[in-house]
Structure formats: C-alpha cells, structure tokens
Amino acid sequence: QKEVEQDPGPLSVPEGAIVSLNCTYSNSAFQYFMWYRQYSRKGPELLMYTYSSGNKEDGRFTAQVDKSSKYISLFIRDSQPSDSATYLCAMSAIETRGSRLTFGEGTQLTVNP
Amino acid sequence: EPEVTQTPSHQVTQMGQEVILRCVPISNHLYFYWYRQILGQKVEFLVSFYNNEISEKSEIFDDQFSVERPDGSNFTLKIRSTKLEDSAMYFCASSRGQGRGYTFGSGTRLTVV
C-alpha cells in the first residue's frame, strides 16, 4: 500500500465550479498536512498548511484533515482558469531533526473559461 | 516575498561527469532539503540538512550524492558520477522549523546524456 494516495486525474471543470481534491494516507504518524500547487516545470508552491485534524480556510481555498479516516481534502471555490495546475498533497511526521515530506502523485486540474 | 533561488535552471551533462547544483535558501530558515522529480512521477525526498549535518536521507541518496553548506548562504547538491537515471528536476527547499511549510525553489532540470 502506498504511503500517500492521490487520484492523478486529469480533472476538468468549468470556470466558477467548486473543486474537490483528496488524498488518503496510511502512516498514522503524519501530523502536518500541506497542499502545494505546481505549474509545469516549476517548483511546488505552498497553498495551505494544517496541523492535525480540522479545517483551515484561506480565501477561496479550504483544507480539511480527518485523521480518524486518514483523509485530507482541498476545496477551491469559484475556480478560475489561473487555478489550472497540478495540486500536490504532502505530509510529514514529527521528527527530532528535519521532517521529510511525503508527496502524493498530484492531481492535474484544468479550469475551462 | 522571500524566495529560494536555484542555479542553473537547466544543466546538461554527460554520463559519468560530476555536477553541482546550487541553492540559496531563505536567509532565516534553519532546515534545508533536496527533492527530485523524475518526469511524470511524484516529488521524492532526497536529504534534509540541519545544523551543518545531514538529518535524514532517503534510499535514493547513495554514496554518489553529497550535500554541503560551504558558507552562510549557499547549499549545494553534488552528484559525483551521473547516470542516465539521474535525469530529473531537482528542487531545493528550506523551512524555519520542523513540520512547518516548506518553500521550494524553481528547480534545476538535470539532463544526463
């Protein structure tokens, strides 16, 4: 079983739609959960960062973490063509020194005008 | 906004040659990382570095790889004898604390021919 699973898509939605992106994981030690956006041949850009379970909202983006189900989500409201990118979930455990991130495969999203 | 800077953006090298990839992390960050992404695959952890020593390394980070922080600002990844399978995007990242959000650079695309 993969440590982090993410549907690679591709996902295509019309402008203005609500987008739901999800990851599941198997390692119960993960405590920190992140969503990154990656444009083609660029570095990942941090969108949302959450610790443990709960919701976090930032503008049009909402991140949810359900540790009991080992399931995290990113919702994008009022999606725009500029949101077209690959979205990566990433997570890390508490470590004594340095915390490696474990990434999902990434979901490729296209928002059509 | 502070950035992680990587040079060069693209490097082509012959198999068996040594390459050095360079990074300037964000100045007040304490933890430094290298990740790689083979085309079409997920982002993979290579190594973390803290307090002038390696904190953790993955199974990918074998004896062909080394990291160094030669001065107060640069962080380098050296591959001693490149193989075709080393062709990938290499991302440097830095963070202020363990498990916090990481800032990634734009990457160096390494092509081994």
Greatest alpha-carbon pair distance for chain A in Å reads 47
Q: pLDDT at position A81, please?
A: 97
**Cα dihedral sign, B67-B70-B75-B78:** negative
Contact criterion met (CB below 8 Å) for B67 and B78: yes
- Is the pLDDT at A95 greater than 80? The verdict is no
Banded model confidence at residue A100, pLDDT cuts 50, 70, 90: confident
Q: pLDDT at position B70, please?
A: 86
Go through A90-107 and write b for each residue having 16 or more CB atoms within 10 A of its CB, e for each that does not: bbbeeeeebbbbbbbbbb
CB contact (8 A) between residue B98 and residue A102: no
Over the stretch B22-60, which tens digit does the pLDDT of each residue have?
Answer: 999 999 898 999 999 999 899 999 999 998 999 999 999
Over the stretch A15-44, which tens digit does the pLDDT of each residue have?
Answer: 999 999 999 999 998 988 999 999 988 899
Q: What are phi and psi of B55, to 5 degrees?
A: -85, -40
Over the stretch B16-30, which tens digit does the pLDDT of each residue have?
Answer: 999 999 999 999 898
B90 touches chain A (CB under 8 A): no
- Is the pLDDT at A99 greater than 90? The verdict is no
CB contact (8 A) between residue B48 and residue A41: no
Q: For residue B21, what is the DSSP state?
A: E
Helix, strand or coil, per DSSP, at residue A103: strand
Over the stretch A38-73, which tens digit does the pLDDT of each residue have?
Answer: 998 889 999 999 888 889 999 999 999 999 999 999
CB contact (8 A) between residue B105 and residue A43: yes
Q: Mutate which of B6, B10, B24, B42 to test chain A, going by most A C-beta atoms within 10 A? A: B42
